[in-house]
Amino acid sequence: MTSPRREGTGSSRTRRWLKRISLTLAVLVLATGTAGYLYLRHLDHNIRHAPLRAAVALPPPPPGPTDQAGRTAMNILVIGTDSRADLGGAYGDVDNTGPGNNDVNLLLHIAPDRNSAVAVNLPRDTLVDLPECKDPKTGEDFPAAEHRPLNEALGRGGPGCVTSTVESITQLKIDHYALVDFQGVKDLTNAVGGVPVDLCTPIHDRESHLDLPAGPQLLNGDEGLAFVRTRMAVQDGSSLGRFTMQRAYLAALVRKVTGAGTLLDPTTAFPVVETATRSITVDDAIAGTTKLVGLANQLSGIKPDAVQFVQPEMHYTADDPDPALREKAAFTQPAADQLFQLIREGRPLTQAPAPTASATGSPTDSPTDSPAASGSPSATAAASAVQADDGSPSPSASASPAPTGPGGVTVRNGDDHSCVQGWTGTLDQ
C-alpha cells in the first residue's frame, strides 16, 4: 500500500468553498436582480425529486441515539442507477431508458456532531427481502418479495422503495437520498476536470470498455463511468469486488470537489453546481438549490480522513435452490448485522489490524475490502496467494493491513490513496 498523501487542509477549506458558493449565489441575486433570481429558479428546476419512502406498510426505524448535545446521526442513501436514459443507446442495453436498477447502494451514516461518517456499501446482487411498495408516479402496487436481488428495488416504486428496503436491512432510519444515473457520473467527472486514481496493475475490461495502464490516471467522463461500472477485470470478477473501484473513485471525487481550484473559484464552481443539479434526483425535503447548499453546509466539517468505507461480510449463493440466483450473494451473519448494530449505536467499527508478514517473508492473510466469498461462480485463484489490502490476491503480503471490522472486513478512510488492484484470477467463461 502506498503511503497516504494528504491534500489540502480538510474541513476549514471545505467550509470556505461552501461559504463562497452561498455568498456567490446571494451576490448574484442582489447584483442581477430578476436575472439572478431566475437563474436560481433554473437551478431548482434542474433538480428532480420524489418521495423519501415508497413502502406501503413498513414504518421507518426509530432515530438513533442522541449525543450530549441532543443531536442524532443523519443517514443519506446514495443510489446509482444503470439507466441509459439520455445516452443515445450507448453502454449496452439500449432499451434500459427507464429508472433502471439500483446498481450502487451506498449508505452514508453521519455522526451526530457532523464531523465523521461511515459509508456502507450494499452490493447490488445481495439477496434480500423487498417490502411492498407503491410507485408514486403511476400508483402501481408491487407486492412484497422474498429472496430477491437488492437492485430490483428501484423498479418497484422508484428510489423511495430502495430507501425502504435499505431501512429494513440495516434498521437505520434514512433522512435523505440522492440518485445519480450513468449520464450524471460522466457529467460530474468532466465538470470537476477529471478524477485522479492510481492503479496497481493495468485494467482491461471488454464489458465496460475500460482500458487503463498501471499508475496514476486522470479519468475523464467516459473513463470515470467505466471505472465505477467495471467488475469483470477487478478482483474476482463479481459485483462484490467492484466496491474497491467505487470507493477509490468516490473518495477521489470528494477530494477533488473540495480541493483548491474546483469550488473556491466561482467561475469554476457554477459549472459544477449546474452539472450537479442536472444530474441528481433527491427526496422532496432537499429539492432545491438553497436546501442542498444548506445540507452541504451541515456536512462541511467532515474531512476525507474522517470518512470510513466498509462493505459487510458477504458470501456467494452458488448452492441456491433457484438456478437463476446462483451467481448472487448474501450477507454473512451474524457479522453483517453486527456491523449494522455498531453503526446504529455509533460505536467504533475497527479492531486491531492483523499481523503483517514476518521479516523472513512468511505471509499472513490480511483483511479484504470484500472478504473472500465462498462458492464464487466466476473466479479461481492460486491457493498459495495471500490477500492484498484491496481484497485481491497478491503474491506477497508486503503491504500493511488496514483496520478491520466484524467478520474481518476492511475499513478504509476517504484519505486513503492506495492503488487499485486489477484482475488477478481466472474467469470461468
97-150 pLDDT per residue, tens: 456 899 999 999 999 999 999 999 999 999 999 999 999 999 999 999 999 999
Q: What is the mean pLDDT of the chain?
A: 78
Instruction: Give 360's DSSP letter.
Output: T
Under DSSP, is residue 400 helix (H, G, I), strand (E, B) or coil? Answer: coil
Tell me the per-residue pLDDT of 168-192, one tens digit each, with 9 for 90 and over: 999 999 999 999 998 888 998 998 8
pTM summary value: 0.79
Strands 117-121, 307-310: pairing kind: parallel
Q: How far apart are CA 144 and CA 206, in angstroms?
A: 36
Tell me the per-residue pLDDT of 365-385, one tens digit each, with 9 for 90 and over: 333 444 444 444 333 322 222
The helix or strand, by DSSP H or E, that contains position 210, with its residue range, turns out to be: strand 210-212
pLDDT higher than 70, residue 277: yes
What mean pLDDT comes out for the span 401-427? 72
As a whole number of Å, the end-to-end CA separation of the chain is 31
Q: Which fold has domain 11-181+240-345?
A: Nucleotidyltransferase; domain 5 (3.30.420)
Task: Read off the pLDDT band of 245 (50, 70, 90).
Answer: confident
Among 109, 164, 169, which residue's Cα sits nearest to residue 135?
164
Angle, alpha carbons 325-331-335 (nearest 5°): 160
Q: Which amino acid is at 214?
A: A
Among 192, 187, 194, 233, which residue's Cα sits nearest to residue 210?
233
Strands 426-427, 379-380: pairing kind: antiparallel
pLDDT higher than 80, residue 10: no
pLDDT higher than 50, residue 4: no
236, 243 contact by CB (below 8 A): no
3-state secondary structure string across 190-201: HHCCCEEEEECC
Looking at residue 267, its pLDDT comes to 66
Q: How far apart are CA 116 and CA 10, in angstroms?
A: 12
Task: Read off the pLDDT band of 69 (50, 70, 90).
Answer: very high
Copy the grid coordinates of residue 142.
408491487
Main-chain phi, psi angles of 385, to 5 degrees: -70, 145
Give me the residues paired with residue 404 across strands.
Answer: 351, 410
pLDDT higher than 90, residue 84: no
CA distances from 318 to 169, 237, 359, 412 (A): 22, 15, 39, 29
Looking at residue 33, its pLDDT comes to 57
- Residues 6 or more apart whose Cβ sits within 8 Å of residue 116: 110, 302, 306, 307, 308
